[in-house]
Amino acid sequence: MATELSPVSQIPPEFHVKVDHDQCRKCKRCVLNCSFGCMQFKDKVTPDHSKCVACHRCTTFCPENAISITDHPMVYKENANWTERIRQNTLKQAETGGILLTGMGNPKPYPILWDHLLIDACQVTNPSIDPLREPMELRTFLGSKPDKLEFERDEHNNVRLKTQLAPHIQLDIPVIFAAMSYGAVSHNVHKSLAIAANKMGTLMNTGEGGLHEDLYPYSGRIMVQVASGRFGVHSDYLKAGAAVEIKIGQGAKPGIGGHLPGEKVGLEISKTRMIPVGTDALSPAPHHDIYSIEDLSQLIFAIKEATDYMKPVSVKIAAVHNVAAIASGIVRAGADIVTIDGFRGGTGATPAIIRDNVGIPIELALAAVDQRLRDEGIRNQASLVCAGSIREAADVAKAIALGADACVIGTAALIALGCRVCQKCYTGNCAWGIATQRPELTRRLDPDVGSQRLCNLLTAWKHELQEVLGSLGVNSIESLRGSRERLRGIGLDKETLEILGVKPAGVGM
């Protein structure tokens, strides 16, 4: 039997909460808003620094601006190798014996290749185009395209399309919302995403936790996911979605399963996931009907049969070392869309060791996959969707130029809803009502407000993408898509440039 340790933790607090008591008028809003138990009231507001996660909820709602949060002024003996974070984690594991759990995407300072790519612009030899006055098209279709079209003539000698096209989803902006399950996020998050996706002509994705019945009216703009846990998967669910996604892996946790703790499985989640209230929802690491590529094909076509070949089927994988060959196999297995999630992609909960050390950056994965599919002459057969830390419209433009058909945003969408990336999603205490099921917290997010904020974000990005296209002198997104000639690398080594298919800055055409 393990020895009982002292109840006092040796781990120093991460943050320091300073309350300016001259300004504080003791309204206790901070105490009410704090969902992590940090802000307490004992004659005056008295923070427990060790519980602060820097979620900004208290500072945002303090009417007097009396609260500030800083790094805890605790000094550690300087050591470039034994960083503060490593020492804290070691203490944590010594106290608990557990796997370090975390949320959101990989925070480590790996090179962010988006920030090493620069975009071209027109000067003299071809004109830039004014995106405000002239047409600037972002319309995108996700789905499998043939290499060529065939035509025939009808009785009036009019040309008609003979080729039967595979099903497609039309997007008005090549940015879709990431798969985030009901369970990992609240119902109001799902609803905000669904409303925004409908308004903006894009997609939300259920994630693996099923689709709540309230959201079926929005399902024309919802991609429904089938993951290894098969939560909430039934024929109506498959038929309701605009597309179906088979989730093989996730950038934040490639190769491992998931675990929604029973305490989060309340009545509504239970109904949606179709499991009893209070039971743990376990997602196995693999799909146990997919142990090989031909099994994937079998599941793809099982879904196509179930949906009468009316919906594109996406397969989502994490970006791992052999991603190009895997993606090629997925296309050949019959997927209409391949979604690749890079190693900086987000999550509600994952072991830090996996999140921070497994997988490869989306920039390289995307470039390798697009080129591989072209080399094999099968690039048309599937759309390529890229995920895993698309932070801003510039990342979208660069991803499209590398070859993506569309980009996925998860964290960016959550930030629009209020998320401060405190990485405590797995605790279920999200003060912004996002990654929580506690009713007093979830009601903090009003879906009307949330959806409007998401629409604003996408509208802003849409204008920004149009500005980029205009400066490139093209008026349609397909003229940027895969046009790596319009990118240049800065501060990248030769091999990286080769994989990206991009010339170094300073080299002309």
Residues interacting with another protein, by CB under 8 A?
122, 125-127, 129-130, 132-135, 137, 139, 141, 145-151, 158-161, 163, 165, 168, 374, 377, 379-380, 460, 463, 472-476, 478-486, 508-509
Handedness of CA 342, 476, 466, 125 (dihedral sign): positive
Cα separation values, 353 from 86, 89, 90, 253, 421, Å = 12, 11, 13, 9, 18
| Residue closest to 269 by CA, chosen among 442, 447, 444 | 442
Using DSSP's 3-state secondary structure scheme, residue 152 falls into: strand
**Which one, 143 or 342, has the nearer CB to another protein?**
143
Cβ proximity to another protein, 353 vs 507, nearer residue: 507
* Closest to another protein by CB, 287 or 486: 486
* 35: nearest Cα among 463, 461, 424, 453: 424
Distances in Å between the Cα of 355 and the Cα atoms of 83, 112, 187, 250 are 18, 16, 26, 10
- In 10 A of CB 322, how many CB atoms? 10
Between residues 446 and 478, which has the closer beta carbon with respect to another protein? 478
**Helical segments of 137-287, H only:** 187-200, 235-240, 267-273
CB of 325 to another protein, least distance (A): 18
Q: Which is nearer to another protein, 387 or 402 (CB)?
A: 402
Distance between CA 376 and CA 18 in Å, rounded? Answer: 60
We find the least distance from the C-beta atom of residue 329 to another protein, in angstroms, to be: 19
Phi, psi of 163 (to 5 degrees): -65, 130
In the complex, what is the shortest distance from the CB of residue 368 to another protein, in angstroms, rounded to a whole number? 14
Minimum distance of another protein from residue 158's CB (angstroms):
7
DSSP code for 434 = S
Shortest spacing between CB 125 and another protein, in angstroms: 4
First-residue to last-residue Cα distance in the chain = 70
CA distance 441 to 430: 7
* H-state helical runs in 115-157: none
Nearer to another protein by C-beta: 38 or 129?
Answer: 129
- β-pairing, 117-119 with 487-489? antiparallel
Pairwise CA distance, residues 146 & 166, whole Å:
8
Torsion-angle region of 243 (φ positive above 0: left; ψ -120 to 50: alpha; else: beta): beta
As measured in angstroms, the least distance from the Cβ of 495 to another protein is: 20
Q: Are 119 and 468 in contact (CB under 8 A)?
A: yes
Q: Are 344 and 365 in contact (CB under 8 A)?
A: no
Which residue, 29 or 379, has its beta carbon nearer to another protein?
379
Give least dist CB 212 to another protein, A.
32
Identify any residues that bridge with 177 across adjacent strands, giving them in sequence order: 409
Give residue 312's identity as a one-letter amino acid code: P
Q: What SS3 class is residue 113?
A: helix
Q: How far is the CB of 167 from another protein (least distance, A)?
A: 12
Give me the least distance between CB of 135 and another protein, in Å please: 5
Task: Provide, rounded to whole angstroms, the least separation between the CB of residue 198 and another protein.
Answer: 18
Q: What span, in angstroms and rounded, lies between the C-alpha atoms of 289 and 299? A: 8
Instruction: Name the residue nearer to another protein (CB basis): 381 or 442.
Output: 381
Three-class SS state of 141: strand
Closest approach of Cβ 335 to another protein, in Å?
A: 17
Rounded to whole angstroms, how far apart are CA atoms 369 and 379? 9
Which of 71/152 has CB closer to another protein?
A: 152
Alpha-carbon torsion angle 291, 294, 300, 305, nearest 10: -120
| Nearest residue (CB) to another protein, 149 versus 353 | 149
Q: For the chain, how long is the longest CA-to-CA vector?
A: 89
Nearer to another protein, 140 or 389 (CB): 140
User: In the complex with another protein, which residue's Cβ is closer, 42 or 148?
Assistant: 148
Q: How far is the CB of 54 from another protein (least distance, A)?
A: 24
